[in-house]
Amino acid sequence: MRHLKRTAKLGRKSEHRNMMLANLVCNLIQENRVTTTLAKAKAARSVAEKMVTLAKKETVHARRLCVARLHREDAVKRLFKEIAPVFKDRRGGYTRIMHLNQRRGDAAQLAILEWVELPLATAAPEPEKKEAAKDAGEKK
């Protein structure tokens, strides 16, 4: 019986599934937003939330566990330095899933997986550039 075994198999062997989810989470850490299928987003969400919870501990052991799961030290560095501090007062629910339309080729339901609160380093300074361009135009 499979009571309380809720692993989404996603049509893959366990090693392939774990690497795929690790890559999705690493891309989420690097890009702050990932577009994927709904089933993969739901599976990657739990991995991402567990990694943030580990990163909030800020211990060497937690860092090593994250590297062992994600296999990319650059993503783990960003997770510990930029993403975990944003969520230090939050008790869970670090990600959100937004449903999109169906994919044309196979009609798979698409979704966007993103952080609830985006890290400050990703705040776009575009409005300042526009204001600077307006100021330059006024000086002429």
Given a contact cutoff of 8 angstroms between Cβ atoms, the answer to whether 43 and 18 are in contact is no
H or E element, residue 30: helix 14-31
pLDDT tens readout for residues 39-95: 999 999 999 999 999 999 999 999 999 999 999 999 999 999 999 999 999 999 999
Residue 103 has pLDDT above 80, yes or no: yes
All structural domains of the chain, each given as residue ranges with its CATH number in brackets, are 14-139 (3.90.1030.10)
DSSP string, 112-129: EEEESS--GGG---HHHH
Given a contact cutoff of 8 angstroms between Cβ atoms, the answer to whether 94 and 49 are in contact is yes
